[in-house]
Structure 1
Amino acid sequence: MKNKKLKALELDVEAVVRTHPELEPLMYKNIPVGLEGIIDIFDLDDVKRGSFQIQVDFSARYPNGFPSLRELSKLIPREIDRHIYDNGNCCVTVLQKQIIESKRGITIERYFKDYVVPFLANQIHFEEYGKWANEEYKHGYAGQVQFYQETTKSTDLSIILKAIKIIIDSTKFSRNEKCFCNSEIKYKKCHEQSISDLRVIGKEQLKSDWDQINEILEEEKI
């Protein structure tokens, strides 16, 4: 790891530890490769609601690559409905979102803020109330379809397929022409940002997703 990138990682880790002082860096050849320890979860009134022992492993390609979270205290039931596997690995978001974050780059500090803390806080809420504090991603491929629905702001699978196909086929659009979704709105004010976000995923994954979403659409027509 080059000195500039290593320094950025070290400062990033220091920022996380300042916020969560019971976490300690995991080191390999004087390079931080993860964090392990206790993390306290507080509500909006700054009242502690719970604590977890966790381990977060960094990507060797930092800041590219998506970190991973493992819950070591076994306070979360090892159930797929709780988005956690038998080994404690936590599914904090869908694969497509991980790919986007990985390619665009994500700091460890933001990973904790946007994924680790919300995931654990939501687990506490579920344990207390039997439901999630906010809408959760569905399981398996249904969750990935949900990602596309949110990204394209459409529940119409045919629109989602069109958006994905545009990227696969490298179709070019004028920003001022009407959008492909038949909204009668200019492309730049409609789906341009969605296409930009989805393009980051890469054609190989998009082709696989197109096939599976198309299969769902065909089944709905039967």
Structure 2
Amino acid sequence: MSYGLSYEVKQILDSQPRLIMVENDIEWIIQGVYKYSLDYDGHIAQGERNIKLIVQKNFPNSIPKFYVSDYPEHIEHIYQDGNVCLATIGEMIYFLNENPSLIAFIKKFVNAFIYTLDWFEKYNTYPFGDRKHGYKGLLDYYLNDLKLTKDQYKKMVIMIYEDKYRGHIPCLCGSGKKLRDCHGKYMLPIIKNASYKNEFITEAYMILTKDGKNVSRKSSE
């Protein structure tokens, strides 16, 4: 464990006395009761959740896995085993490349999901708008946030899969900029990291084969 990650884990455990950490050769497992008080636009969610966060020892070169128990049967974005679909692989990779911090990851993705879960239990709606489920929800990030068409997303996937990234070529989005000055900032962290690349390609397979069943507990197109 690097000093920075070790310090962050200690901070988490110090601030959450009902969490424990179990270590093995490849990962740290942080689990137990997570106490939260989260404020979004003046709306406060408070409570406790039984959670598990699995952090690979090569973090931030791999994406943590988050599990939660005791959730509503009909809420989406949770796998059968309780593993939460926090966001798209591409979004989390880009975030970790810019913010290689476990605490920042928890604040950005874990706390946002816990707030969503709390809100959903109370109001049976989603506080930030309900992103689409299954492969459509995953694809939306690339279409809306990265401003790509589906065909451009396919080109992005092929370029990453076949290691054909070249920073000097025109960007696949048609902006007229060089790839390195445009969408290359999203692609390069994936290409340079075998773990990221594997997760990205796995997600791309689900998206391009419309395999929504692997992404949400109740698949819907």
The structure 1 residue matched to 2:67, chosen from 67, 70, 87, is 70
1:16 matched residue in structure 2: 12
Correspondence 1:121 to 2:115: yes
CA deviations 1:159-194 (Å, max 9, x no partner) are 22233334436153526xx54433445555543334
Counterparts in 2 of 1:49 and 1:102: CA distance versus 1, 3 Å: closer
Q: Distance in 2 between the 1:15 and 1:89 partners?
A: 24
Correspondence 1:174 to 2:171: no
Correspondence 1:43 to 2:36: no
The structure 2 residue matched to 1:193, chosen from 185, 191, 196, is 185
Counterparts in 2 of 1:196 and 1:149: CA distance versus 1, 3 Å: farther
> Offset at 1:121?
0.3
Q: Is the Cα–Cα contact under 8 Å of residues 66 and 106 in structure 1 kept in the other structure?
A: no
The structure 1 residue matched to 2:157, chosen from 164, 168, 171, is 164
Q: Is the Cα–Cα contact under 8 Å of residues 60 and 100 in structure 2 kept in the other structure?
A: yes
Q: Distance in 1 between the 2:155 and 2:165 partners?
A: 11
Counterparts in 2 of 1:59 and 1:105: CA distance versus 1, 3 Å: farther
Alignment TM-score, normalising by the size of structure 2: 0.68
> Offset at 1:96?
4.4
Counterparts in 2 of 1:207 and 1:174: CA distance versus 1, 3 Å: farther
Alignment TM-score, normalising by the size of structure 1: 0.68
Letter aligned with residue 119 of structure 2: H
Q: Distance in 1 between the 2:59 and 2:198 partners?
A: 23
1:25 matched residue in structure 2: 20
For the aligned residue pairs, the C-alpha RMSD in angstroms reads 3.9
Q: Distance in 1 between the 2:179 and 2:28 partners?
A: 44
Q: Is the Cα–Cα contact under 8 Å of residues 49 and 68 in structure 2 kept in the other structure?
A: yes
Q: Distance in 1 between the 2:178 and 2:3 partners?
A: 44
> Offset at 1:107?
3.5
- Identical aligned pairs, as a percentage? 19
Letter aligned with residue 209 of structure 1: A
| Paired positions, count | 204
Q: Is the Cα–Cα contact under 8 Å of residues 86 and 109 in structure 2 kept in the other structure?
A: yes
Q: Distance in 2 between the 1:104 and 1:40 partners?
A: 25
Q: Distance in 2 between the 1:22 and 1:205 partners?
A: 35
| 54-63 or 39-48, larger mean C-alpha shift | 39-48
| 125-134 or 109-118, larger mean C-alpha shift | 125-134
Q: Distance in 2 between the 1:174 and 1:123 partners?
A: 44
Q: Distance in 2 between the 1:90 and 1:212 partners?
A: 17
Q: 5+ unaligned residues in a row in structure 1: which ranges? A: 217-222
2:217 matched residue in structure 1: none
Counterparts in 2 of 1:190 and 1:113: CA distance versus 1, 3 Å: same
Q: 5+ unaligned residues in a row in structure 2: which ranges? A: 212-221
Q: What pairs up with 1:66-215 in 2 under 5 angstroms?
A: 66-72=63-69, 74=70, 76-79=71-74, 81-97=75-91, 106-150=100-144, 152-154=146-148, 156-167=149-160, 168=162, 170=164, 172-174=166-168, 179-185=171-177, 187=179, 189-196=181-188, 199=191, 201-202=196-197, 205-206=200-201, 209=204, 213=208
Counterparts in 2 of 1:77 and 1:203: CA distance versus 1, 3 Å: closer
Q: Is the Cα–Cα contact under 8 Å of residues 151 and 194 in structure 1 kept in the other structure?
A: no
